[in-house]
């Protein structure tokens, strides 16, 4: 029988149509017959020596080798939002708008054109996490920066345009309904039960174990009960923290290890699938809220939204979370 599950944090429904689904192995991407990437690409703006193609360099993290950096933060050459202007609203007839205020930055994760996170050392991934945190804290100091989204697109289906390993940060001067809705559902749960819904999810997943993929002292890594797509993963801090800005130095190391391990498993078992990940964190002035809880969400691009999903807002997932977790945990 098919099944419909509800996300406890958002009340959003997901349909599990396993009758038309695939076995986990069938989600493996077809073998890529294209030429492997080289360490350096002379046409890539993110490769060392091509700095003239960059608008500027905001931050550079030195590498272990002399004269070689490990990570860089640069402005996006084609930004979705720019720091000019302000956040005041204007009207045009019955409509409301605002200037395109914000910031759009790129984190170049490595000087090597062909080195994805799954192939990096934990120490190299920790530098990426440290860079995320440094930019997040600095950008949150500005009153106009109401929301900060840190995300990574990997592969064409995930929306990437440059193959050199990189992540992005977009800052906005407003908070969209998608984020406010998630906040409000968490607030309603807290008002009713006096507890954080995400902490309750953590407690249950730790005891139930059916969807857990990885665990250490700082984080639980699991396939959510109402995952919207095959092999969706949440990496969630065990300690209650509303903001990514509150992460400790020790937890940065644990997050780096967990993120690298999960991406390595997806790379190996699904043949380097396209994916997005995003750090879901509290907006400006919400860092101390007792009902909010940040987490990193990974969403492999293994299915395509169709008419019903677009029209209803309900996702159809052909794969059960328990099956996905079991597949990721099995040794090959």
- Catalytically annotated residue among 154, 166, 267, 293: 166
Please state, in angstroms and as integers, the Cα–Cα distance from residue 163 to each residue in 28, 91, 160, following that order: 20, 40, 7
* CB contact at 8 A, 35 and 247: no
166 is a catalytic site residue: yes
Task: Tell me the torsion sign for CA atoms 47, 51, 52, 55.
Answer: positive
Tokens of 193: 């039960």
Q: How far apart are CA 14 and CA 34, in angstroms?
A: 36
CA quadruple 149, 153, 157, 162: dihedral positive or negative? Answer: positive
Q: Would you say 209 and 217 are in contact if contact means Cβ atoms under 8 Å apart?
A: no
Instruction: Give the bridge partners for 6, in sequence order.
Output: 13
Which residues are CB-contacts of 189 (< 8 A; sequence separation ≥ 6)? Answer: 9, 195, 196, 197, 291
Helices (H), the chain: 122-139, 177-193, 197-208, 249-269, 307-312, 321-329
Separation of CA 325 from chain center: 19
The bridge status of strand 219-222 relative to strand 233-237 is antiparallel
Question: In which element (H, E) is residue 73 found?
Answer: strand 69-75
Max CA distance (Å), the chain: 62
Q: Please return the burial class of 12, using the count of CB atoms within 10 Å of its CB with bins 0-12, 13-18 and 19+.
A: middle
Q: Which residues, 6+ apart, have CB-to-CB distance to 154 below 8 Å? A: 116, 160, 274, 275, 276
Q: Mind telling me the catalytic residues?
A: 166
């Amino acid at each position: 029988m098919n099944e419909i599950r509800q996300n406890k944090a958002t009340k959003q429904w997901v349909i599990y149509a396993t009758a038309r689904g695939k076995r986990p192995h069938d989600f493996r991407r077809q073998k890529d017959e294209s030429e492997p990437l080289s360490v350096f690409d002379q046409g890539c703006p993110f490769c060392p020596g091509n700095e003239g193609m960059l608008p500027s360099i905001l931050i550079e993290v030195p590498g272990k080798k002399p004269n070689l950096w490990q990570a860089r933060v640069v402005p996006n050459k084609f930004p979705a939002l720019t720091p000019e202007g302000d956040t005041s609203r204007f009207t045009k007839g019955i409509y409301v708008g605002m200037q395109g205020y914000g910031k759009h930055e790129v984190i170049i994760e490595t000087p090597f054109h062909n080195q994805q996170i799954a192939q990096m050392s934990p120490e190299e991934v920790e530098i990426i996490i440290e860079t995320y945190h440094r930019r997040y804290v600095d950008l949150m100091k500005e009153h106009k920066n109401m929301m900060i989204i840190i995300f990574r697109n990997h592969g064409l289906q995930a929306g990437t345009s440059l193959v050199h390993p990189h992540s992005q940060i977009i800052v906005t001067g407003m908070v969209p309904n998608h984020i406010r809705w998630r906040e409000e559902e968490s607030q309603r749960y807290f008002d009713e039960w006096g507890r954080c819904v995400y902490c309750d999810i953590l407690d249950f997943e730790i005891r139930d174990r059916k969807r857990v993929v990885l665990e250490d002292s700082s984080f639980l890594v699991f396939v959510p009960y109402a995952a919207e797509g095959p092999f969706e993963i949440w990496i969630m801090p065990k300690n209650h923290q509303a903001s990514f800005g509150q992460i400790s130095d020790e937890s940065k190391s644990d997050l780096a290890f967990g993120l690298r391990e999960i991406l390595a498993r997806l790379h190996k078992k699904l043949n380097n699938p396209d994916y997005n990940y995003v750090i879901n964190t509290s907006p400006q002035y919400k860092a101390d809220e007792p009902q909010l809880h940040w987490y990193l969400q990974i969403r492999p691009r293994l299915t395509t939204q169709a008419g019903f999903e677009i029209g209803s807002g309900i996702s159809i997932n052909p794969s059960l979370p328990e099956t996905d977790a079991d597949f990721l945990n099995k040794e090959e």
